Structure 1
Amino acid sequence: MCPQHDAPLADRSTTPSVAPSADKAPRLDAGTKHYDLYAQRLSPWQNALRKQLMPIVRWETPYLAWMQDTLRSPALDSYFAFTANLGTHTFFMIFLPILFWCGYTSLGRAMVHMLAGGVFWSGFVKDMLCIPRPLSPPLYRITSSPAVALEYGLPSTHSANAVSAAFYAIHMLHTAPDQDHPNAHLALQGLFYFYAVSITFGRLYCGMHGFLDVAVGSLIGALLAWVQLLFGESFDHWMTQSYMSPLIATLIVLVLCRIHPEPADDCPCYDDTVSFMGVVIGINVGAWHFAQTAFSTDFPIPSTVPFDLKEVGLVKASIRIALGVVIVFVWRATMKPILFKILPPIFRVLEHARLNLPRAFFLNASKYTSVPPLRGDDNVIPSARDVPQMLKNLAHPRKRSVSVGPQSAADAYETLAYRNRRRRESINSLDGAVPEGQAWSPVLKEKASGELRAQPGPSYQAALGSNLLPTPISSRVHSYEYMMGTGVGPMTPITPPESTLDFTGEAAVQSPVEEENEKREIFELLTKPRVRYDVEVINKLIVYTGIGWLAVEGNPMLFEVVGLGTGYHR
């Protein structure tokens, strides 16, 4: 198990109340003196699989950069940055409760199960393999949510969510009994196809994922939709048969949360997984109990919220949706601080009895006295104070963040690993040897002959763009390869020291001090991660279980009590 401060830099943006022995200055983790951090922290089979996949990520990066550079425009930047929000956890978590409140319980449960599966399995694979996103530079990363870049790259959760939702919706349209308007059905199918393609291609365009990432993510999404179509209806009926059904489902969810792999870097995938697993527990428990009450109907499935827009009216329907959303935010805003007060003493007792289940990068309760107010601690549902800014961003779709350079610890380690690889290639080529499994490129040939030795920095890029390579496309691809591992933007003049990047043709050997300084320089480019507390896991699980219960039972019963329902009683 990795220690709680097991991060590239121990200095964090939010400092807890800890003992005086806590770190006071930035430092590199003592356990990361070698480039191959992942060989130390992953199991042998995980590291072996990662080594098989990393060459694919490195190979596709310059081609992604070429595609991005060829297609980029301000309009497309704005479009893909904006539409990426339609594949996020936040969009679905705000949209899904409305399905339940408007009587689309079957669709709502299907979407929750598929999206929770997508978040869990994509996060599981991400933390198991620790594959970084394609390097920046040469890629620009275009996003309206910079925090997304802190996650690993393989697979794409956006692609999994979008493909599962589109796959399921298209199948439901094909099997819908009402085909009185075939043109409308055809238009809706086209819309869902466009949605899935737009989200997945947008991840490539925005430089957030590679071809392998979106392919694996799309495959996960399609498989989850297929499983939901085969077993979803039977599962929904089984869930309301006995109290044992939600109990068994809850135990399975908790086991899945526990077996989620430990990442090698401080990756927030696990936080999102816990949140969605909490929602699954909430809707299952709520569905079982709501089916026993007089407020639910059994059509088309048990625990359906009775709703008829003609009977309720547009005004009343809008009020109940607004009220439901407000209650969700009030629940979240109220329970989080309460749990942060209640849980730490309980966790200290469990830790003293050695009954706690610590996770890497989460600070144990014995190491702090209280949890300070946290900002940006939730990627699923924003806090109420963040909503005005989100609405403002939606009103100005051209607002986005374009970044170049390492953003996460995984980015930094990949930058260092790629530099080290280029050094080995340079030394081998100058010695007349070609690295195993590596074809001789025109660039390596020129380097070996010494013709590029007087062309360091940007001149190297200029040379790559002139007569050394046969076609403009291959020339540009090799120039993007040169940018990989620099850690600075493509428009920044690059004159690397001979002891650092060794693109001058000289075989360089770094001293330990130079190696340490190089790593420190890269890591200082990153935003320092905040402290994450062990109680946050249970906090999220409880809060999001409550949100799931409010969506399927709590709010629908309240609507009937306050006169915003249909007046249905069995």
Structure 2
Amino acid sequence: MSASISTSVLSHGELSKRIPASETAVFQHSPEADSKLRREWEPGCQPDEIYDRYLPRWRAWLRRYLVKRLREEKDWMADWQVRVRTEGRDKFFYWTAIFGTHTFFMTFLPVLFFFGFPVKARGLLYVVGMGIHISSFAKDLVCTPRPYSPPVIRLSMSTHHHEYGFPSSHSTNSVSIALFFGGWLYELRHQVGSSANAPLIITVVLFVYAASVVGGRLYTGMHSTADIIGGSLMGAACWLLWVIVGAQTEAWVNTGTWLVPAISIPLTLGMVHYHPEPLDDCPCFEDAIAVLAVILGSFVGHWWGVISGEAIPSVVQRQSYQSGPLQGITVIAFRLILGLGIMFAWRLIAKTTLLRILPPIFRTFSKVSGEDLPTRRFYKAATDYKQVPQKLAFRQIPSVVDLQIGTNENSSFSTSPVDSPVLSMNGHPSKSSSAFLQAPSTNGVRQRTREEEEKDKEEEEKKRKDEEIRFLIRVNKRKGDRSKYDAEGG
């Protein structure tokens, strides 16, 4: 229990002998001491010139500042990890990281709805949802790598950690959740009484929860100090914002005005449209879309419940499990099983249905209007494919408008930092990658307008910038920032 893990004290040279040098980060996917190390691709590891050329100047400046901090931290983080890692701590932080995953939020966030606390349930959903969206937005905005590995070793439960480093979304979510429940506990202080031990115990539990998740991101090598500080501040800001505007927002929706859907729907679509485009393939955009859809659904559902009436009043929901211990336990178990079962079943049904009906609708809209469908890098418009590939049909988080053409966690192909996701295996644009950079063809002949000409100029400028990036990648022989460490440390 107290002995340091053998994998955490390996030198950089020993790691190089044990692991192929084709990827960028060293992962340990089990807390066991004899677990196998493996290298995996991560975004944010292209040479700095690539990001300077692709990103706007102010975004490139932010990235350079954060990357400079990573270089300054790399040695002490590796030394600190060697000193503090033990098998017992590895298991603890390995498992507490689950409290920041999509699966946890999918099962945890609806629970308050099940037990008759809709106001608090919506508040928790909006606080956590804002944190997920803001952290995803920031990741794609600055495109920073995670801490340098090697020398740091990643301890992670899943292989699906192909997101940028800054900020730590785990830190954002855990801090916002702890503050939310802490604030709720403060509201109940007069009902509980100052002599009871429950408030103190709950406060300690919330503190340990937040500290374990935030500190665990540093311990496991998944984030730097700047990542967890930035993520924690974002989580606190989301909670504070809801403290300020939460009551007014609830009161506004409770008026039943049609302004609720008239404002919330266009606002959500605008937030999706103006999400920053990163250089590397990153799932942050899908995370942002998913949580915005959940928040919008809650807003519209709450509004519809106001104008049509609740099926079961909240007070009845709470009283139904307060009649006695045995009945209470039975009702709680039944609601959890039924509620989560319905939620997962609805997800499968909705996803299957939408994958069948939305692409034809988008194609028809493009054909009738003569407009090209909006697409993002690494995604494919509905006009450019006929059928959804089976391997993408049941991905964890589906796209709303576009079909992602990158590989998923079950794919055998993994992209190298030199072979950017923009390129094919031989370093040249593949047919599929160049297809989504071109406007899809439409039937009929239509008169060209000034807007179309300006759009074509923007497309040409985008292609020119992509070609410059490809050229820089081909002529640059080093493996991004990790090679800088290799050159320095030997």
Question: TM-score, length-normalised on structure 2?
Answer: 0.68
Q: 1:473 maps to which residue?
A: none
Q: 1:205 maps to which residue?
A: 219
Spell out structure 1 runs of 4+ moving beyond 4 A. Answer: 32-35, 304-307, 407-413, 512-520
- Which deviates more, 129-138 or 226-235? 226-235
Q: 2:355 maps to which residue?
A: 340
Shift of 1:351: 4.1
* 1:343 to 1:35, Cα distance in 2 relative to 1, 3 A: same
Provide the C-alpha distance between the structure 2 equivalents of 1:46 and 1:317, rounded to a whole number of angstroms.
48
Task: Name which of 332, 344, 348 aligns with 1:329.
Answer: 344
Alignment of 1:217-296 (within 5 A): 217-241=231-255, 242-291=257-306, 292-296=308-312
Task: Name which of 195, 204, 207 aligns with 1:193.
Answer: 207
Instruction: Tell me, yes or no, if the aligned pair for 2:374 and 2:381 is still in contact at 8 Å.
Output: no
The AA in structure 2 aligned to 1:204 is: L
Shift of 1:116: 0.9
Provide the C-alpha distance between the structure 1 equivalents of 2:179 and 2:331, rounded to a whole number of angstroms.
32
Shift of 1:335: 2.1
Instruction: Tell me, yes or no, if the aligned pair for 1:89 and 1:379 is still in contact at 8 Å.
Output: no
Shift of 1:297: 3.8
Alignment of 1:33-112 (within 5 A): 36-112=49-125
Alignment of 1:299-448 (within 5 A): 307-311=319-323, 313-352=328-367, 353-374=370-391, 377-378=395-396
Shift of 1:254: 1.7
For residues 14-40 of structure 1, what are the alpha-carbon distances to aligned partners after superposition, in whole Å with 9 as ceiling and x for unaligned?
xxxxxxxxxxxxxxxxxx997621122
* 1:270 to 1:307, Cα distance in 2 relative to 1, 3 A: farther
Say which SS state the counterpart of residue 155 (structure 2) adopts: strand
Say which SS state the counterpart of residue 205 (structure 2) adopts: helix
Shift of 1:377: 2.5
Provide the C-alpha distance between the structure 2 equivalents of 1:215 and 1:256, rounded to a whole number of angstroms.
25
* 1:135 to 1:519, Cα distance in 2 relative to 1, 3 A: closer
* 1:203 to 1:79, Cα distance in 2 relative to 1, 3 A: same
Matched, 1:137 2:127: no
* 1:186 to 1:37, Cα distance in 2 relative to 1, 3 A: same
Provide the C-alpha distance between the structure 1 equivalents of 2:397 and 2:377, rounded to a whole number of angstroms.
19
For residues 166-201 of structure 1, what are the alpha-carbon distances to aligned partners after superposition, in whole Å with 9 as ceiling and x for unaligned?
112112222313133532101111111111111000
Provide the C-alpha distance between the structure 2 equivalents of 1:212 and 1:317, rounded to a whole number of angstroms.
41
Provide the C-alpha distance between the structure 1 equivalents of 2:173 and 2:328, rounded to a whole number of angstroms.
32
The AA in structure 1 aligned to 2:185 is: L
Say which SS state the counterpart of residue 295 (structure 1) adopts: coil
Provide the C-alpha distance between the structure 1 equivalents of 2:338 and 2:182, rounded to a whole number of angstroms.
31
The AA in structure 2 aligned to 1:245 is: V
The AA in structure 1 aligned to 2:85 is: R
Provide the C-alpha distance between the structure 2 equivalents of 1:412 and 1:367, rounded to a whole number of angstroms.
24
Provide the C-alpha distance between the structure 1 equivalents of 2:265 and 2:80, rounded to a whole number of angstroms.
45
Instruction: Tell me, yes or no, if the aligned pair for 1:134 and 1:210 is still in contact at 8 Å.
Output: yes
Provide the C-alpha distance between the structure 2 equivalents of 1:318 and 1:359, rounded to a whole number of angstroms.
43
Count of residues in correspondence between the two structures? 364
The AA in structure 2 aligned to 1:365 is: A
Say which SS state the counterpart of residue 109 (structure 2) adopts: helix
Provide the C-alpha distance between the structure 2 equivalents of 1:98 and 1:128, rounded to a whole number of angstroms.
33
RMSD, matched Cα: 3.0
Provide the C-alpha distance between the structure 1 equivalents of 2:205 and 2:418, rounded to a whole number of angstroms.
35
Q: 2:14 maps to which residue?
A: none
Alignment of 1:148-187 (within 5 A): 148=161, 150-176=162-188, 177-180=190-193, 181-187=195-201
Provide the C-alpha distance between the structure 1 equivalents of 2:262 and 2:314, rounded to a whole number of angstroms.
21
The AA in structure 1 aligned to 2:311 is: F
Provide the C-alpha distance between the structure 1 equivalents of 2:310 and 2:349, rounded to a whole number of angstroms.
29
* 1:119 to 1:76, Cα distance in 2 relative to 1, 3 A: same
Instruction: Tell me, yes or no, if the aligned pair for 1:297 and 1:306 is still in contact at 8 Å.
Output: no
The AA in structure 1 aligned to 2:289 is: V
For residues 429-484 of structure 1, what are the alpha-carbon distances to aligned partners after superposition, in whole Å with 9 as ceiling and x for unaligned?
xxxxxxxxxxxxxxxxxxxxxxxxxxxxxxxxxxxxxxxxxxxxxxxxxxxxxxxx
**Higher relative contact order, chain-length normalized (CA < 8 Å, sep 6+):** 1
Alignment of 1:466-477 (within 5 A): none
Shift of 1:139: 0.9
Provide the C-alpha distance between the structure 1 equivalents of 2:309 and 2:418, rounded to a whole number of angstroms.
52
The AA in structure 1 aligned to 2:344 is: F
* 1:246 to 1:298, Cα distance in 2 relative to 1, 3 A: farther
Shift of 1:263: 0.8
Say which SS state the counterpart of residue 149 (structure 2) adopts: coil
Q: 1:386 maps to which residue?
A: none
Alignment of 1:493-512 (within 5 A): none
Provide the C-alpha distance between the structure 1 equivalents of 2:238 and 2:144, rounded to a whole number of angstroms.
22
Question: TM-score, length-normalised on structure 1?
Answer: 0.59
For residues 97-135 of structure 1, what are the alpha-carbon distances to aligned partners after superposition, in whole Å with 9 as ceiling and x for unaligned?
121010121221111111111111111111011011111
Provide the C-alpha distance between the structure 1 equivalents of 2:310 and 2:64, rounded to a whole number of angstroms.
57
Shift of 1:206: 0.6
Provide the C-alpha distance between the structure 1 equivalents of 2:200 and 2:415, rounded to a whole number of angstroms.
43
Q: 2:136 maps to which residue?
A: 123
Provide the C-alpha distance between the structure 1 equivalents of 2:474 and 2:260, rounded to a whole number of angstroms.
60
* 1:230 to 1:372, Cα distance in 2 relative to 1, 3 A: same
Provide the C-alpha distance between the structure 2 equivalents of 1:99 and 1:374, rounded to a whole number of angstroms.
34
Provide the C-alpha distance between the structure 2 equivalents of 1:264 and 1:358, rounded to a whole number of angstroms.
15
Instruction: Tell me, yes or no, if the aligned pair for 2:137 and 2:276 is still in contact at 8 Å.
Output: yes
Percent of aligned positions that are identical = 32
Say which SS state the counterpart of residue 192 (structure 2) adopts: coil
For residues 287-336 of structure 1, what are the alpha-carbon distances to aligned partners after superposition, in whole Å with 9 as ceiling and x for unaligned?
1122331535477xxxx955531246332332232112111111111222
Say which SS state the counterpart of residue 374 (structure 2) adopts: coil
Provide the C-alpha distance between the structure 2 equivalents of 1:513 and 1:359, rounded to a whole number of angstroms.
21
Q: 2:429 maps to which residue?
A: none
Instruction: Tell me, yes or no, if the aligned pair for 2:164 and 2:282 is still in contact at 8 Å.
Output: yes
Say which SS state the counterpart of residue 313 (structure 1) adopts: helix
* 1:277 to 1:307, Cα distance in 2 relative to 1, 3 A: farther
Say which SS state the counterpart of residue 146 (structure 1) adopts: coil
Shift of 1:52: 2.2
The AA in structure 1 aligned to 2:391 is: L
* 1:519 to 1:69, Cα distance in 2 relative to 1, 3 A: closer
The AA in structure 1 aligned to 2:200 is: L
The runs of 5 or more residues in structure 1 that have no matched partner are 1-7, 10-31, 381-406, 414-511, 524-570
* 1:314 to 1:130, Cα distance in 2 relative to 1, 3 A: same
